[in-house]
Amino acid sequence: MRKGWKGIYTLLLSLVFMVAAGTTGYVVIEGMRPLDALFLTVITLSTVGFGLLQPLSGPGKLFTIGLIVVGVAVFSYHLTRLFSLLVEKGLLEALERRRMYHKIEDLSEHFIVCGHGRIGSVVVSELKKRRIPMVVLENDPSILEGLEKDDLVFFIQADARDENSLKKAGIERARGLVTLLPTDADNLYIILAARDLNSDLSVFARACEPQAEKRLLKAGANHVISPHREGGKRIARMILNPNVTDFVEMATARENLQLQMEEFVIKAGSPLDAKSLHESGLLKKHRILVVAIKRADGTMTFNPEGNTKIAAGDSLIVLGPTIKAELF
């Protein structure tokens, strides 16, 4: 819209200049009073045609002809450019929004991120590295301006607290929702609305105040994160166990190609379903160590033995070099 505003300023500046030049010309050439000269200039430029206040001399007539030709040409040029710019931009934005909504309608198993502030931008960046499709709901146009758009991240300027906004983001088909608004009340409302629209959704919520965590969990959040508390814990871990922290950072960093730590959910029909860890060949064939198994009922088994059976619905936390998703 900056070009549109520039066109408006240019048009106004041209208008002021033409009125000033016309008024000065009539005062000098015809000896009119400034008010009469201003009136005649305005009706001449506007082509209203009220009639002359006094007969014009030859030079006055030539000046009027020039004023009409130049004025009409200047204003026609600027108005045409301005109208073209506004119509073209509005049409392009409408077409772009239409294409975006069509693409969102084709999305499934994606994440919805509510809020693209300092924390939200980091979340979006990390999920994007994992090639996870997302729809970001942000109500502040200044935040959305200039953000890079692609086929993985779709940005919608909308209030995430509005159920219609969540529906536009495809919440019925989404895999999860992350609500990161700066107030606990807003995050609580989004959780309730999301649960009402999709009861199977995995919901991750930001807690601004420590006492809000229990309420957010009761409202339906699967996981609640307090950035201040988690930041403090991480600093403490770095102080107390710097090597352990460095190892976890290295294992969970996507850029690291030597060692990766990942989590995979075993689905029905998986090649690992109903097999033991020894039968799966993860450690022997692929050098992938199963660190823990979280069962469908929520129980967690650490450092499972080789005869431990894997079942559909289990989540495997694994560690190894170049972990391929197709193995699971």
Percentage of residues in the chain with pLDDT exceeding 90? 26
Please give the pLDDT value at position 207. 93
- What are the helix (H) ranges across the chain? 2-30, 34-45, 58-105, 118-129, 141-144, 163-168, 184-197, 212-219, 227-240, 242-252, 277-280, 282-286
Query: What is the per-residue pLDDT for 195?
Result: 94
Banded model confidence at residue 255, pLDDT cuts 50, 70, 90: low
Written as one letter, the residue type at 184 is D
Domains present along the chain, CATH in parentheses: 2-103 (1.10.287.70), 107-231 (3.40.50.720), 259-327 (3.30.70.1450)
Give me the pLDDT at residue 74, please.
Answer: 76
Mean pLDDT, to the nearest integer, of 176-201?
A: 94
Question: Does pLDDT of 1 surpass 50?
Answer: no
On the question of pLDDT at 206 being above 90, the answer is yes
